[in-house]
Chain A
Amino acid sequence: MPNTDPRKRPDIRRRLMTALLLCLPVMVTGQVTGERHDPGIDLPEDDGRARLVAACTACHDLTGLPAYRNYWNRDRWRSMVDSMVENGAPLDEAGRQVVTEYLARHFGTATQASEEQEKRTEEGTNEQQE
């Protein structure tokens, strides 16, 4: 007999209605009106977060983002953002730039560069203390 774990079965009806209600204003107005969906992960709170969540979570959560951390530069993130817009993500040009900058800042190779700088600063501080 199939061993279906009932805890893994989603509350189908509630999720369907929630998804439909949350998608409707975005679909009708084409406007990014603010955070409406659970991205599935903790995202840094700064400029761009709201647009990212509103534009992307109508179709999918953002739990896949950390897997890209430190691998993609700004150009590659822009390419992905453009691809998602072609797939239906509601972002105008200004929105694309904001979202791209946010992704590059928190999940791009810039993240690695800033982490390395922080490490150098910390090592320098430790040497001074010694």
Chain B
Amino acid sequence: MSNRNNVRASRHILQRGLMCLAALATVTAVQAEQALVVQTNSRDDIIHLIDADSHEIVDIIEGVPVNHGAAAAPDGSRLYFSSEAKYTLDVVDTATLSVTDEIPLSGRPNNISISNDGHHVYVGIMEAPGGIDVIDTRTLENVRHIETQSRVHNTFVTPDGRHLVAGTFGGDRNLDVFSTETEELVFSMYPKRDETQLEGIRPIAFETDDEGNTARMFVQISDLHGFAVVDFETREEVDRIELPSIPEDERDPGPYTRAPAHGIGVAPDQQTLWVCSRMNGRVYAYSLPELEYLGGVEVGSHPDWITFSPDSRYAFAANGHSNDVSVIDIAAMSEVTRIDVGDAPKRNITFIRP
């Protein structure tokens, strides 16, 4: 009997020990994950990885000339970049930071996005006739082309993963919404106002409701120093908000390529909307869902794109002319540091590297 008790006690101790080891391994794994800002440099062949907490450059990816768009696999194992110089979608292994594949595209690419399951990357083709190349990340092949009858500047996957949204130039309508399941067009908005090639839709940000469904789109439009508010369910523009005006002699003289405001983002906690003003050299914040003006932060020259730390503590604005990234403390509404990066930084994203 005493032997059985001893065996039971030993098993109990062993089980407790294994549980402790498992817990320790889990904690260690979580601590090893790193939130990184991926900063492209559109006139360069390097991409910077910036620690979202320390605000220091921790790595540099090389070999993607004239890099434009960036996307991350959901598990953080890969990064994808479009190269305007090579007409490719480049695949980067985040463990080695080497380019492992270069997938040919149908034309000169612009921005990209990735499906929520990570299986497809959608590449906007800016070179006429335009459209969207669909890359299957499981086979690393260019498997389909979605016709848009317009040149595609940006693609976005809505936070709920159900829709692919394209902001385009030169089409009869320049904001297209597709189903990610069927890749069929669901609806279009913003008919062209003139025949110029820079008439169209610029960056777009998305707000979700409490269930995580797409509630509103915040849309930047050619020539608008501000943004439009679109109700996603009714498919109607419900408001148009102009950014603050500053004295002309304080403005950047441009040119702005007809986008005086370029770069817009919703913080991960869905509490604030941030809008970049190239003309003013500032980023402006609005409360969500009320869209009350919260204030502006002076940043570098030509802020062009914005991303956030996962905890919504910091915003990172890429300044395309001063070649740096402004780190903004969101609660304090102030710039805390400016990080020198490559030539013409623009698109940036945030991902968790395992």
Q: Please report the total number of A residues contacting B with Cβ < 8 Å.
A: 28
Across-interface contacts of A88 in B (CB, < 8 A): 196
Return the CB mask of B326-350 against A: 1 if under 8 Å, else 0.
0000000011011000011000000
CB distance from B59 to the nearest CB of A (A): 21
Return the CB mask of A70-81 against B: 1 if under 8 Å, else 0.
011000100110
Shortest Cβ-Cβ A-B pairs, 6 listed: A2-B335, A86-B197, A71-B85, A16-B253, A64-B43, A15-B253
Across-interface contacts of A124 in B (CB, < 8 A): none
Assess the A63–B197 pair: CB atoms within 8 A: no
A67's partner among B85, B108, B297 (CB-CB below 8 A) is B85
In the bound complex, CA of A88 to CA of B334 (Å): 38
CB distance from A21 to the nearest CB of B (A): 12
Assess the B301–A8 pair: CB atoms within 8 A: yes
B298 in the interface (beta carbon within 8 A): yes
A35-67 with Cβ < 8 A to chain B: 59-60, 63-64, 67
Assess the A1–B255 pair: CB atoms within 8 A: no
List the one stretch of B26-34, B185-193, B244-252, B307-315 in contact with chain A: B244-252
Assess the A67–B338 pair: CB atoms within 8 A: no
Assess the A68–B197 pair: CB atoms within 8 A: no
A126 in the interface (beta carbon within 8 A): no
Closest A residue, CB atoms, query B41 = A67
Known: A3-B335, A83-B197. 18 other contacts (CB 8 A): A2-B298, A3-B338, A4-B298, A4-B335, A10-B301, A12-B251, A12-B253, A19-B254, A60-B257, A63-B43, A68-B84, A68-B85, A71-B86, A72-B85, A76-B108, A79-B127, A80-B108, A87-B197
B322 in the interface (beta carbon within 8 A): yes
Across-interface contacts of A59 in B (CB, < 8 A): 255, 257
B223 in the interface (beta carbon within 8 A): no
CB distance from A87 to the nearest CB of B (A): 5
Chosen A-B contacts, 24 in total, with CB atoms closer than 8 Å, are: A2-B298, A2-B299, A2-B335, A3-B337, A4-B335, A8-B300, A9-B301, A12-B250, A12-B253, A15-B253, A63-B343, A64-B42, A64-B43, A64-B343, A67-B43, A67-B44, A68-B84, A71-B85, A79-B128, A83-B197, A86-B196, A87-B196, A87-B198, A88-B196
Return the CB mask of B74-98 against A: 1 if under 8 Å, else 0.
0000000000111100000000000
Across-interface contacts of B257 in A (CB, < 8 A): 59-60, 87
Across-interface contacts of A10 in B (CB, < 8 A): 252-253, 301
B265 in the interface (beta carbon within 8 A): no
Closest A residue, CB atoms, query B66 = A67
Assess the A71–B298 pair: CB atoms within 8 A: no
B35-77 with Cβ < 8 A to chain A: 42-45, 65-66
Assess the B255–A60 pair: CB atoms within 8 A: yes
Across-interface contacts of B196 in A (CB, < 8 A): 86-88
Across-interface contacts of A64 in B (CB, < 8 A): 42-43, 66, 343-344
Closest B residue, CB atoms, query A4 = B298
